Structure 1
Amino acid sequence: MAEQSLKEKTAKGLFWGGLSNGVQQLLNLFFGIFLSRILTPDDYGMVGMLSIFSLIAGSLQESGFIAALANKREISHKDYNAVFWFSTGLSACLYLILFFCAPLIAQFYNTPQLTALARYSFLGFFIASLGIAHSAYLFRNLMVKQKAIAVTIGLIASGTIGVTMAFLGFAYWGIATQSIVYVGTVNICYWRFSSWHPTLSFDFRPLKGMLSFSSKLLATNIFNHINNNILTVILGKFYSGQEVGYFTQANKWNSMGYSVVSGTVNSVAQPVLSTLSDDRERQQRAFRKMLRFTAFISFPAMLGLSLIAPELIILSITDKWLPSASILQLLCIGGAFIPVTNLYSNLIISKGKSNIYMWNTICLGIIQLVTMLLLYPYGIRTMISIYVAINICWLLVWHYFVWREIRLSLFMALKDVLPFAVIAAGVMAAAYYITIGITNLYLLIISKILIAALLYTAIMWLSRSVTFRESLHYIIKK
């Protein structure tokens, strides 16, 4: 009965997570197209240079406590309250530090305008700190629907304001304001949907029990942000703002793609895997099922995005962004594997092995940093190709640690993932060659999408894929 209840909760979470992330990325796409048509690559480059500082500050304020609260066996008001006041106080201190360091950041990039923009943009992570405890509450209780509603409202409000400001000539200030409005709106919704609220009692003793776990996640998240943004930093230092803008635009589209899959799975993976942490056999079965579902969605979605990248860029945001299309095609190959990597890391965290998660990510970050610094004279595309290859190969390292925890062999993992990857790659290659003679861009992109979708669906149906049939059954049922 309990297993059936957990299965229903997981299916419901995946459904709402998938629906939510699909809607979110459509909204991102809608507003992103308007912004990209109005703004220039230099505008995006300005904001992109600052992203790593905001993300690292955001990791420091969150300090891994969301995952720590989700993995705690028993939890009380004091635990949430301690996290709330700690995050708020720390983020206020971090904002003051970054406020006075803004001229140094501008000097590093040789861009004086970044001083004022940095001081304004960094307000976003301070505002975000006010919703960390509430986000943890919703996450722990698998309130995926409520989080989906909050994010959707935030995207609509912030996107409208961002596009309006860009149209009125505020340039990169519109992008910065969009981010601030987004986190503010989402936090208001989190407060509304959560039955927990902070009280004026400053007892930080509950943090002691979480620090050994959360501190490792903190270090890991910082290195994750460094790993994901190292190219932006190096490009900002050694290349022009325009080239940073092209990369930022391509990376945004890539992120929108894999976030649909990652967000769907991540909304339930860690809470569900944590629930099963005492039963290795059940946990392995649940993990393999999630792994198949992730591969089933991720590879056709991301390789499909790579297939239509040139037409999509030209038709949606005009040919002034065409140089970003080839960058997007490379990033999408790596993007297909990111949801799989995220699922592996969720399993490690659910077993309480935050130290493994931390050192694995740090080692990857160091390798990427050294490699990118050595490769920057050889051009952006060489750097991106090697960056993608390193991330894909590192999956073998993640798998080793998963094998140690739940004895999932490499053969079984490849059996779960490889068929979907090979079929998706073959389908995209077939769609490309079938449509190679079409010159009309509208007809070309529609033909590629229809042919790829029909071929992939047909192969899934004829091969009697269990994952495909279960997903189809659940959608029809809903």
Structure 2
Amino acid sequence: MAEQSLKDKTAKGLFWGGLSNGIQQLLNLLFGIALARVLNSEDYGMIAMLTIFSSIAGSLQESGFTAALVNKKEVSHRDYNAVFWFSSGISLCLYFILFLCAPLIARFYDVPELTPLARYSFLGFFIASLGIAHSAYLFRHLMVKQKAMAAIIGLVISGSVGVTMALMGFAYWGIATQSIVYVATINLCYWKLSPWRPTLSFDFKPLKGMLSFSSKLLITNIFNQINNNLFSVILGKFYNEQTVGYYSQANKWNLMGHLLISSMVNGVAQPVFAQVGDERERQLRVFRKMLRFTAFVSFPAMLGLSLIAPQFIVIAITDKWMESAEMLQLLCIGGAFIPITLLYSNLVISKGKSNIFMWNTVALGVLQLAAMLLLHTYGIRTMILVYVIINISWLLVWHFFVWREIGLTLIQALKDILSFAFIAAGVMVATYYMTLGICNIYLLLMAKITIAATLYISIMWISRSVTFKESLQYLTKKKR
């Protein structure tokens, strides 16, 4: 009964996570196309150069307490309240520090206009801190549907504001305002949808029990943000805001692709792993099932995006962004493996091994930084290629620790992952050659999508893939 209950909760979470993320990415797609048609690469580059600072500040304000609350066996009002007031207080202090440091950031990039933009855009991470405890409450209780509603409402309102400001000539100020409006709206929704409310009692004692776990996640999250924004900083320093803008645009579409899968899986992975944490065989069984599902979705989606990247970029945001297309193709290959890496890291966190998560991420970040600094003279495409290879190879390091925790052998993992990877790659290669004779860019895009989807689904059907069957059964059941 417990097994079935957990299975139903997981399936429900995956369904709502997939549905909501699909809607979110569709909204991101529509608003992203509208903004990219109005703005230019320099506008995106200005915002991208600041992202690393607000991201690191965001990690500091959250301090890993969300994961700590989710993995704690019993959570009380005092725990949520302590996290709320700590996050709010630390983020306010960080905002004032960054406010004063804004001229130094502008001097680092040699772009004076960044000073007022930084002081304005950094307001977003302070506003975000007011919803951290509420988000943790929804996450812990697997309230995926409620979080989905909040995200969709936030995207609609913020996207409308951003596009309106861009059309009115506010350029990069419109992108900055869009981010601020998004976090403000989503936090208001969290407060509305979550039954928990903070009280005026400043008791930070509950944080002590979480610090040993959360502090390691904090360091990890900071390095994650450094890793994710490494290119923007290096390109901003050694190249110019136009190059940063091209990369930012390519990376944005890559993120939209793999976040669709990652968010769907991550929305349920950690709570589910935590619930079966004391049963090694059961956890292995659950993990392998989620691994197969992730690979089944991730490889065709991301390799498919890589296949259609040139046509998609030109049709969606015009040929002024063509420089981004080749970057996007390379990034998508690495992006296909990111949801799998995140699934591995979620398992490690659920076992309480935040120290392993931390050192793994730190080591990867140092390796990437060293490689990028050595390669920046060879051009951005070489840098991206090496970056992708490093990230894919590091999956073997993650696997070692997962094997040690739940006994997942490399043969088992490769069996679960590579069958979907090879089929998806083969489908994309076949589709590429089958569509070589099509000259019309619109027909070419539609033909690639139709042929690739048909081939992949047909192979899944003929091979009687269990993952495909279970996904289909669940979707038809939801429809009925």
SS of 2:416's partner is helix
**What is the deviation of 1:307?**
0.2
The aligned runs of 1:201-212 (5 Å cut-off) are 201-212=201-212
Give 1:368's aligned residue: 368
SS of 1:145's partner is helix
Give 2:322's aligned residue: 322
Give 1:426's aligned residue: 426
Give 2:387's aligned residue: 387
Give 1:452's aligned residue: 452
What CA RMSD, in Å, does the superposition of the two structures yield over aligned residues? 0.3
The aligned runs of 1:12-51 (5 Å cut-off) are 12-51=12-51
In structure 1, C-alpha distance between the alignment counterparts of 2:243 and 2:13, rounded to whole Å: 39
Give 2:188's aligned residue: 188
Does residue 442 (structure 1) correspond to residue 448 (structure 2)? The answer is: no
In structure 2, C-alpha distance between the alignment counterparts of 1:411 and 1:426, rounded to whole Å: 21
**What is the deviation of 1:189?**
0.2
Equivalent residue letter for 2:345: S
Give 1:339's aligned residue: 339
Give 1:60's aligned residue: 60
In structure 2, C-alpha distance between the alignment counterparts of 1:242 and 1:477, rounded to whole Å: 49
Structure 2 length-normalised TM? 0.99
Structure 1 length-normalised TM? 1.00
**What is the deviation of 1:68?**
0.2
**What is the deviation of 1:75?**
0.7
Give 2:407's aligned residue: 407
Give 2:78's aligned residue: 78
Give 2:469's aligned residue: 469
In structure 2, C-alpha distance between the alignment counterparts of 1:232 and 1:392, rounded to whole Å: 20
* Percent identity over paired residues: 74
In structure 2, C-alpha distance between the alignment counterparts of 1:281 and 1:225, rounded to whole Å: 34
Give 1:169's aligned residue: 169
SS of 2:288's partner is helix
Equivalent residue letter for 1:16: W
Give 2:309's aligned residue: 309
The aligned runs of 1:16-165 (5 Å cut-off) are 16-165=16-165
Give 2:296's aligned residue: 296
In structure 1, C-alpha distance between the alignment counterparts of 2:179 and 2:138, rounded to whole Å: 22
Residue deviations 1:97-150, cap 9 Å, x none? 000000000000000000000000000000000000000000000000000000
Runs of 4+ with >2 A deviation: none
**What is the deviation of 1:243?**
0.7
Structure 1: which 5+ runs fail to align?
A: none
Equivalent residue letter for 2:22: G
Residue deviations 1:383-402, cap 9 Å, x none? 00000000000000000000
SS of 2:111's partner is coil
In structure 2, C-alpha distance between the alignment counterparts of 1:364 and 1:241, rounded to whole Å: 26
Give 2:354's aligned residue: 354
Equivalent residue letter for 1:28: N
**What is the deviation of 1:240?**
1.4
SS of 1:460's partner is helix
In structure 2, C-alpha distance between the alignment counterparts of 1:217 and 1:20, rounded to whole Å: 27
Structure 2: which 5+ runs fail to align?
A: none
Equivalent residue letter for 1:111: V
Q: How many residues align?
A: 478
**What is the deviation of 1:3?**
1.1
Equivalent residue letter for 2:278: D
In structure 2, C-alpha distance between the alignment counterparts of 1:241 and 1:226, rounded to whole Å: 18
**What is the deviation of 1:2?**
1.1
